[in-house]
Chain A
Amino acid sequence: MDALITHLLARKLSGEATAEEKAQLDQLLTRNPEAVYYAELMTQLWDEGKIRAGTNTDAAWLKHISRHKPAFH
């Protein structure tokens, strides 16, 4: 994949891209269908790792307050 597209895609997915960079990426992708394929797969891979909020921390919390008992009164 084109080096500039790779760079812009990395910035876009990580939330670092400016509006100009996003527009530039879209522009480049319309002229580069092969890169669209890679961009799509990278986007999916990226979103898969999204950390789901609401992990159950009950057990960890109990261990935490027992480990650091003196810190709480």
Chain B
Amino acid sequence: MENTFPEIADLLHSVAIHADEASYRRLFDIFFPSLNRFTLYFLRSRELAEESASDTMIALWEHREKLAEIDNIRVWLFVIARNKCFNMLKYRQARSTVPLDLVPVEINFPANDPEQICINSEMRKLMAKAVNTLPQRCKIIFKLVKEEGLGYNEVADILHISSRTVDAQLVTAFRKITQSIRLDYAEPTRNF
């Protein structure tokens, strides 16, 4: 995402040095939608999710004088959002050993794009079902990498897990999804 928004560093600088509200507004545009989706995975209430994302964003403004110390602003924001969600879910004691498996997550697939003829509606249903029946932790990881474009290390930092775990969980997700759409007429898949 940093590549999509090359101006992030400049915006952070304007906020840090000049308390520039217009730059903050632009950062809000860039980060708020992602944070709101993220908090919605955990809280499942649009209102609570939006409030948590809003309270996360304001932390950026309130910490503006110390922004230079933050290494990766996106990870920083997601960690704050995660903590807000877990606090709200009353996992106060367990911030670093998050019971991710207990967190319900829903993944929605966008409506069919008629240009894309390869995935038909039956397949889409099967794939969506496969994704939604993944273990919760696996599903959150899949979603953060796929939909938010986060890197393995970033997801690892946000969820307090190792990047090897992220890698392994994505492989699990891919395996289950491809199994769900296995061709009936294909020869049995050989796994050596």
Q: Tell me how many residues of B have a C-beta within 8 Å of chain A.
A: 51
Q: A10-B171, A63-B54, A67-B54 are in contact. Are A38 and B152 (CB under 8 A)?
A: no
Flag if A51 contacts B28 (CB, 8 Å): no
Q: A14-B152, A16-B151 are in contact. Are A71 and B61 (CB under 8 A)?
A: yes
Q: Tell me how many residues of A have a C-beta within 8 Å of chain B.
A: 36
> B127: which A residues are within 8 A, CB to CB?
41, 45
Least CB distance from B137 to A in Å reads 16
Per DSSP, chain A at the interface is helix
Least CB distance from B97 to A in Å reads 25
Q: Which of B28, B110, B177 contacts A57 (CB 8 A)?
A: B28
Q: How far is the CA of A40 from the CA of B167 in the complex (A)?
A: 20
Closest 9 CB pairs of A and B: A55-B33, A10-B170, A68-B58, A38-B178, A49-B147, A14-B145, A10-B174, A64-B54, A1-B178
Residues of chain A whose beta carbon lies under 8 Å from any beta carbon of chain B:
1-3, 6-7, 9-11, 13-16, 34, 37-38, 40-42, 44-46, 48-51, 53, 55, 57, 60-61, 63-64, 67-68, 71-72
